[in-house]
Amino acid sequence: MSEFVITPPATPSVAVAGSNARFPVRRVFCVGRNYAAHAREMGKDPDREPPFFFMKPADAVVAAEGVIPYPPATNELHHEVEMVVALGGGGAGVAVEDALALVWGYGVGVDLTRRDMQAVAKEMSRPWDLAKGFDASAPCSALRPVGEIGHPADARISLEVNGVVKQSGTLKEMIWSVAEVISHLSRFVTLAPGDLIFSGTPAGVGSLQPGDRVRGVVDGVAEFDFEVGAAAQEA
Q: What is the pLDDT of residues 209-229, one digit of tens each?
A: 999 999 999 999 999 999 999
Give the dihedral sign, CA 161/162/168/170: positive
In a domain, 31, yes or no: yes
Query: What's the total number of domains in the chain?
Result: 1
In a domain, 151, yes or no: yes
- What pLDDT was estimated at residue 51? 87
pLDDT above 60: residue 193: yes
Nearest Cα neighbor of 223 from 112, 136, 141 is 141
Can you give the CATH number for the domain in which 181 is found? Answer: 3.90.850.10
In a domain, 8, yes or no: no
* Helices first, then strands: H and E counts in the chain: 6, 18
- The pTM is what? 0.95
Domain that holds residue 111: 13-230
Percent of the chain topping pLDDT 90: 89
Q: How many other C-beta atoms can be found within 10 angstroms of the C-beta atom of residue 132?
A: 25
In a domain, 7, yes or no: no
- What pLDDT was estimated at residue 216? 98
In a domain, 5, yes or no: no
Tell me the average pLDDT of the chain: 94
Burial 151-174, CB ≥16 within 10 A → b, else e: ebeebbbbbbbeeeebbebbbebb
Residue 28 DSSP SS3: strand
Could you read off the pLDDT of 52-68 as tens digits, one per residue?
A: 999 999 999 999 999 99
pLDDT above 60: residue 42: no
In a domain, 3, yes or no: no
Q: How many other C-beta atoms can be found within 10 angstroms of the C-beta atom of residue 72?
A: 13
Percent of the chain topping pLDDT 70: 94
In a domain, 6, yes or no: no
In a domain, 2, yes or no: no
Residue 44 backbone dihedrals phi, psi, to 5 degrees? -120, 160
